[in-house]
């Protein structure tokens, strides 16, 4: 790569003002502007954090990782780094420079829609995992974009509400992960949709000068770019002066329309623009997008990147990650693991549950990717237990909506496979026609501005006698007919707001029932508005779902119980689905969808060897937890779902996960039951007592506490001492040296957790996480791990002094297997 002596900052001032301003708005939905004469190529961004989708133009699948709430359960920084390296390799394969990940907002309420996209309810665990992930990505010359800055823990009315967080809580809890990743050198940060009310000042996240300019860029020294969330920026001057650097997406938008004139008439100094441009050029230099410029940062050479792993390596890593994430919540007997040679597995294994038939591998929204394959539980268990007869039984549907209309049942009115799309002008005349192959394709762009609406026409074959259900979910103004009969009509037009609030992903359905005695076909027609998505472009969206006559849930439940009663082992997979966990909306409750609790209890009553596997990214209530022999929390496991489950059941990989959040036993006990805005304000009234801290403060008993996980062996904590005690001036005040022994019959992995408490200080949490380490120990062996206790873990934020302070006194240092299973403790005197 060629170089000159011109640094990005100097180069920024040499550009014409018009080009500077243009550089501060995206070129398109996923790209930044290029300046060829400067040697600046286009930079591409892509959604994460479950995979790298790319721009969607290449049609290539993406490696689908377990959800972040799953990988967080490993508490394993090395594994997190390996996943970051894979993400970087995927980004380079897809021509992506910036991965919009990770999310470091906290899981303040268990019903938050993007709970599965976040790491933890704990700021320290979140920060440590995020740093490992980001560092690995950026070592490969790919930028990470941490989101969403800040106080973005709720999806309901997410573009409108203000988060009210007191200064101490903001610093100690919600800003803490952001501060950690800035210290680690993150290159980009995304501002949140929501605003913040702080010190009596209300502001949007994209225009909060005291935070962006004062704290982030000033106090912390962040030298990267702050980009907006998509279409979050509404005004010109306030965001420009408030610290925002890049408006996404483009083209168009408030800065494209008005920033140049704001500079020319003096409302925004040109020096402010120069600083933003310099930051963007520095990012370009870091990712190798700026040739011919050499500053203090050496441009990244793509030839030095780690080679993309083989498909087999990707499968092995993702299977390991999903298996290691799995948390053993209960294991009476112990029933698990089950050796494939066990006599009991040479007979029958009944695999049961809607989520066993269709595993929920990823949550909905911007994290969604299309994987190269999904390892199915049935095939994986048949391979893992070759001497057993493995049968599959759904046990009743758990989704409210019907599945997508099957491709093989759809033909156009002309008899061709699929659905005909007529493009209509404002007078209703057909301009052009096309065909789409299936119901999954009913979200498509409209490039011709003359197209005012579209008409979808298809013939649906109804083969079986009985009641057929057709569900059409239109987005925007529509007119729907079935066999010429008007079923729904609306002239209520929608715009880009359906993208921002994600309602396009979950529209209300128009349901039609057709009773059939003999096979016949019905003609389905829908006239739909073209939605102006602004920078997202013009598009049309329709959900087309269909359910054929089928057995009742009662019949399916009876069949599943009957299969379990004659099986040697029953494996019941329960969980959430795409209707419950997604960006764009929060869950109304913590209940498992459908009649899954009934299914579990009936199967467990029929078979004393029952394993329940929970396929969910966020907490759900498990009222039968103490009634079944074995329970595994399997998360949203990604593309290697089945393979990871088989590895866990057989013990090929130990499920060594520990809960990164608290599992409630009763929804009435949840400290923050919903976190929803009231009068457009979300009040963080619990202060620093978030997650497990609140459970401890309120004295409530969860189903399983933060940090809980049994694994497949037994542990004995034999010693705790504090080494390297310091006067308090250093970054690390002490190191907890913990000796532990694997006293079980299997090699195992332990997550050693260190908690602090300060006696008599009622303003602080009852206890708080201060450090952790993962230890692999052979059966019968002993090991010692050192866990540094950072000075910051002891400090509190003084609002009056506007600085961190170190309270003197004696601190209790406790170590153990979870926040409430503390095996050893000692005292540490600080200051005085």
Read off the DSSP letter of residue 68: H
Q: How far apart are CA 650 and CA 346, in angstroms?
A: 13
In Å, what is the CA distance from 704 to each residue of 588, 668, 708? 22, 15, 6
Q: Is 271 exposed, middle or buried (0-12, 13-18, 19+ CB in 10 A)?
A: exposed
- Count of CB atoms within 10 A of residue 257's CB? 11
Q: Of 557, 533, 542, which Cα lies nearest the Cα of 606?
A: 557
Residue among 685, 682, 600, 42 at smallest CA distance from 330 = 600
d(CA 290, CA 288): 6
CA 630, CA 627: separation in Å to the nearest integer? Answer: 9
Closest listed residue to residue 253, CA positions, set 279, 219, 278, 230: 230
Q: Which residues contact 207 (CB under 8 A, 6 or more apart)?
A: 235, 238, 239, 241, 242, 243, 244
The secondary structure element, H or E, covering residue 381 is: helix 377-384
Describe the chain by its helix, strand, coil percentages, rounded to 5. 25, 30, 45
Task: Report d(CA 220, CA 202) in Å as an integer.
Answer: 22
**Is the four-CA dihedral 251, 252, 255, 256 of positive or negative sign?**
positive
Nearest of 556, 635, 632, 40 to residue 283 by alpha carbon: 40
* Cross-strand partners of 425: none
Confirm whether 786 is a catalytic residue: no
User: What are the angstrom distances between the C-alpha of 214 and each of 152, 197, 218, 282, 670?
Assistant: 20, 16, 5, 21, 35
Helices and strands (H and E) in the chain: how many = 20, 36
Cα–Cα dist 538/252, whole Å: 14
Any idea what the Cα angle at residue 741 is, between residues 735 and 742, rounded to 5°? 130
Half-sphere exposure (Cβ direction) of 214: Cα atoms closer than 13 Å: 6
Q: Which of 47, 97, 122, 229 is catalytic?
A: 229
Report the C-alpha gap between 774 and 656 in whole angstroms.
10
According to DSSP, the residues that pair with 474 across neighbouring strands are 542
Beta bridge partners, 409, equal none
Classify burial at 762, counting beta carbons within 10 Å of its beta carbon; exposed 0-12, middle 13-18, buried 19 or more: exposed
- What span, in angstroms and rounded, lies between the C-alpha atoms of 94 and 65? 16
- Angle of CA points 699, 700, 702, to nearest 5°: 140
Q: Give strand pairing partners of 619.
A: none
Q: Rounded distance, CA 497 to CA 532, Å?
A: 10
d(CA 588, CA 432) in angstroms, rounded, equals: 43
3: number of Cβ within 10 Å: 14
The rounded distance, in Å, linking the Cα atoms of 351 and 375 is 15
Q: d(Cα 768, Cα 750) in Å, to the nearest integer?
A: 19
| Among 232, 272, 274, residue whose Cα is nearest residue 253 | 232
687 phi/psi in degrees, rounded to 5 = 65, -135
- How far does CA 53 lie from the centroid of its chain? 14
Does the bond joining 334 to the residue before it have cis omega, within 30 degrees of 0?
Answer: yes
The number of angstroms, rounded, from the C-alpha of 638 to the middle of its chain's C-alpha atoms is 12
Active site residues: 229
């Amino acid at each position: 790569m060629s170089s000159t002596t011109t640094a990005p900052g100097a180069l920024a001032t040499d550009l014409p003002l018009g080009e500077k301003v243009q550089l501060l708005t995206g070129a398109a939905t996923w790209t930044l502007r290029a300046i060829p004469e400067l040697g600046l190529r286009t930079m591409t961004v892509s959604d994460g954090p479950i995979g790298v989708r790319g721009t969607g133009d290449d049609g290539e699948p993406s490696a689908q990782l377990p959800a972040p709430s799953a990988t967080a359960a490993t508490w394993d920084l090395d594994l997190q780094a390996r996943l970051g390296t894979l993400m970087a390799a995927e980004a380079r394969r897809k021509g992506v420079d910036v991965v919009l990940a990770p999310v470091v907002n906290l899981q303040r309420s268990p019903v938050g829609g993007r709970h599965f996209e976040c790491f933890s309810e704990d700021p320290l665990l979140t920060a440590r995992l995020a740093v490992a992930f980001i560092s690995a990505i950026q070592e490969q010359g790919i930028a990470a974009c941490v989101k969403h800055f800040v106080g973005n823990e709720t999806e309901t009315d997410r573009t409108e509400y203000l988060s009210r967080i007191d200064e101490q809580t903001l610093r100690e809890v919600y800003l803490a992960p952001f501060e950690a990743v800035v210290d680690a050198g993150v290159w980009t940060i995304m501002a949140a949709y929501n605003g913040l009310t702080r010190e009596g000042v209300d502001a949007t996240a994209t225009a909060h000068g005291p935070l962006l300019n004062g704290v982030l860029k000033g106090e912390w020294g962040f030298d990267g770019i702050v980009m907006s969330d998509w279409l979050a920026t509404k005004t010109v001057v306030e965001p420009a002066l408030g610290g925002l650097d890049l408006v996404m997406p483009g083209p168009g938008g408030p800065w494209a329309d008005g920033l140049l004139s704001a500079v020319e008439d003096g409302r925004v100094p040109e020096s402010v623009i120069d600083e933003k441009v310099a930051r963007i050029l520095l990012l370009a230099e870091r990712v190798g997008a700026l040739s011919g410029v050499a500053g203090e940062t050496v441009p990244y050479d793509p030839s030095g990147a780690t080679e993309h792993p083989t498909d087999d390596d990707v499968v092995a890593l993702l299977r390991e990650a999903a298996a290691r994430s799995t948390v053993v919540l209960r294991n009476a007997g112990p029933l698990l693991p089950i050796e494939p040679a066990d006599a009991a597995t040479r007979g029958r294994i009944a695999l049961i549950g809607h989520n066993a038939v269709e595993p929920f591998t990823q949550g909905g929204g911007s994290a969604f990717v299309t994987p190269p394959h999904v390892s199915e539980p049935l095939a994986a268990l048949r391979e893992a237990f070759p001497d057993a007869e493995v049968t599959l039984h759904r046990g009743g549907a758990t989704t409210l909506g019907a599945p997508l209309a099957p491709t093989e049942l759809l033909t156009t009115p002309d008899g061709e496979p699929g659905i005909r799309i007529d493009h209509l002008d404002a007078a209703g005349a057909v301009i052009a026609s096309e065909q789409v192959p299936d119901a999954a394709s009913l979200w498509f762009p409209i490039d011709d501005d003359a197209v005012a609406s579209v008409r979808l026409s298809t013939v649906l074959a109804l083969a079986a006698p009985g009641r057929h259900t057709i569900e059409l979910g239109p987005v925007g103004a529509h007119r729907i007919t079935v066999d010429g009969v008007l079923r729904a009509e609306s002239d209520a037009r929608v715009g880009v707001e359906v993208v921002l609030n994600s309602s396009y992903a979950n529209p209300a359905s128009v349901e039609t029932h057709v009773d059939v005695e003999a096979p016949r076909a019905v003609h389905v027609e829908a006239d739909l508005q073209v939605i102006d998505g602004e920078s997202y472009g013009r598009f049309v969206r329709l959900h087309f779902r269909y359910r054929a006559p089928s057995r009742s849930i009662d019949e399916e439940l009876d069949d599943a119980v009957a299969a379990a009663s004659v099986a040697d082992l029953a494996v019941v997979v329960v969980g959430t689905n795409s209707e419950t966990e997604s960006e764009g909306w929060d869950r109304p409750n913590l209940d498992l969808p459908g009649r899954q609790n009934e299914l579990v209890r009936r199967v467990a009553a029929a078979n004393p060897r029952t394993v329940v596997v929970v396929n969910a990214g966020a907490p759900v209530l498990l009222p039968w937890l103490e009634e079944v022999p074995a329970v595994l929390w399997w998360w949203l496991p990604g593309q290697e779902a089945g393979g990871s489950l088989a590895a866990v059941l057989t013990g090929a990989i130990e499920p060594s996960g520990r809960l990164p959040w608290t599992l409630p036993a009763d929804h009435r006990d949840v400290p923050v039951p919903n976190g929803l805005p009231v009068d457009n304000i979300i009040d963080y009234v619990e202060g620093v007592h978030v997650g497990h801290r609140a459970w401890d403060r309120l004295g409530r008993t969860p189903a399983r506490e933060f940090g809980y996980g049994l694994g497949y062996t037994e542990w004995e904590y034999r010693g705790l001492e504090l080494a390297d005690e310091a006067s308090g001036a250093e970054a690390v005040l002490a190191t907890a040296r913990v000796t532990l022994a694997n006293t079980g019959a299997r090699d195992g992995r332990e997550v050693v957790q260190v908690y602090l408490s300060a006696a008599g200080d009622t303003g602080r949490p009852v206890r708080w996480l201060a450090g952790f380490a993962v230890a692999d120990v052979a059966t019968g062996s002993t090991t010692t791990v050192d866990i540094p206790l950072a000075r910051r873990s002891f400090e509190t934020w003084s609002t009056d002094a506007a600085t961190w302070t170190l309270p003197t006194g004696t601190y209790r240092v406790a170590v153990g297997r979870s926040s409430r299973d503390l095996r050893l403790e000692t005292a540490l005197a600080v200051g005085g």
